[in-house]
């Protein structure tokens, strides 16, 4: 073995071991290019939504139905966990769509990264790590605003940060797997936002209890990651009463969605990048 060969093998050790973290660092550096948007939406959205939906609409609901208008709590306490989880789902829809399409097609950095010792699976893992970091940051800021607005009666409310993050991953992983299969974007991503994300926010028990919807529409909530994360968040933020088995179902469903489609995306990336 020549000296150059030994040096090349030695130089490849760290990328092979920590490749996912190198990719995550790359994604963090890319996020710096739209950091202003991240900060404005991260701080502006919770302020505006909690004011509009929690205090604005909430004051009307309380005036007509009393201070414990929905599920034995104020409308603000009821809707705040849903807004938190919706924010996480929105972030996931941003980070698991266009950046994935960018890496595979528009500016195929994934192919360049794969030319190094970093594997396709590590590329997907690195993207996921970066998204987890943004989801956690967004959820922490949102939860801080919920505290300022007095929308967290329970001392266990901080657990909803993790629940919202898990909900975002459970929604984003299937989207990531789908986008990873696209050779061209002819409007599919825009249709996802319009015909999947928007209806899901309306029919997942976010602004009103799912039980108030007609039975033939309630199935949308049952399969929606947003409904599962919202219900679980309400358990922690204000102690919503539900059977323990149902809380377990929420967790298992969200984890299963994320793990299955995350692993599927790694396989798709392996096929595309190793042609």
Q: Which tens digits make up the pLDDT trace of 74-86? A: 889 999 999 999 9
Task: Give the model's pLDDT for residue 54.
Answer: 72
pLDDT at residue 10 above 70? no
CB burial of residue 92 (10 Å; 0-12, 13-18, 19+):
buried
pLDDT at residue 186 above 90? no
Task: Give the model's pLDDT for residue 162.
Answer: 98
Question: What tens digit of pLDDT does each residue of 26-74 get?
Answer: 999 999 998 998 998 899 999 998 888 777 877 777 777 766 777 888 8
Q: How far apart are CA 263 and CA 257, in angstroms?
A: 10
Longest Cα pair distance anywhere in the chain, in angstroms?
82
pLDDT at residue 6 above 70? no
Mean pLDDT of the 133-139 span: 97
pLDDT band at residue 159 using 50, 70 and 90 as cut-offs: very high
State the alpha helices, DSSP H only, in 73-193. 75-95, 98-101, 109-114, 120-148, 159-179, 188-192
Q: Do residues 177 and 104 make contact, with C-beta atoms less than 8 angstroms apart?
A: no
Residue 142: which of 72, 88, 76 has the closest Cα?
88
Mean pLDDT: which of 54-63, 202-211, 245-254 is highest?
245-254
Q: How far apart are CA 31 and CA 130, in angstroms?
A: 9
Show me where the domains of the chain are located: 19-273
pLDDT at residue 192 above 80? yes
Task: Give the model's pLDDT for residue 8.
Answer: 46
């Amino acid at each position: 073995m020549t000296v150059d060969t030994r040096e090349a093998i030695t130089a490849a050790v760290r990328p092979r071991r920590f490749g996912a973290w190198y990719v995550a660092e790359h994604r963090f550096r890319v996020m710096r290019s739209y950091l202003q948007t991240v900060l404005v939406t991260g701080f502006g959205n919770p302020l505006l939504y909690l004011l509009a939906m929690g205090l604005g609409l909430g004051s009307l609901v309380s005036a007509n139905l009393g201070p414990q208008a929905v599920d034995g709590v104020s409308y603000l306490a009821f809707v705040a966990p849903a807004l938190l989880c919706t924010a996480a789902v929105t972030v996931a829809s941003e980070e698991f769509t266009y950046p994935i399409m960018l890496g595979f097609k528009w500016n195929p950095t994934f192919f360049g990264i794969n030319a190094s010792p970093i594997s396709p699976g590590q590329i997907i893992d690195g993207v996921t790590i970066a998204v987890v970091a943004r989801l956690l940051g967004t959820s922490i800021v949102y939860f801080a605003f919920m505290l300022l607005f007095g929308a967290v009666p329970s001392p266990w409310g901080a657990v909803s940060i993790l629940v919202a993050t898990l909900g975002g991953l459970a929604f984003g992983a299937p989207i990531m797997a789908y986008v990873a299969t696209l050779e061209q974007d002819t409007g599919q991503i825009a249709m996802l936002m319009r015909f999947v994300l928007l209806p899901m926010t309306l029919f997942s028990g976010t602004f009103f209890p799912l039980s108030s919807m007609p039975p033939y529409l309630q199935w949308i909530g049952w399969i929606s990651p947003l409904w599962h994360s919202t219900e679980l968040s309400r358990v922690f933020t204000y102690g919503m009463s539900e059977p323990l088995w149902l809380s377990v179902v929420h967790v298992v469903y969200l984890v299963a969605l994320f793990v299955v489609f995350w692993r599927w995306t790694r396989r798709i990336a392996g096929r595309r990048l190793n042609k």
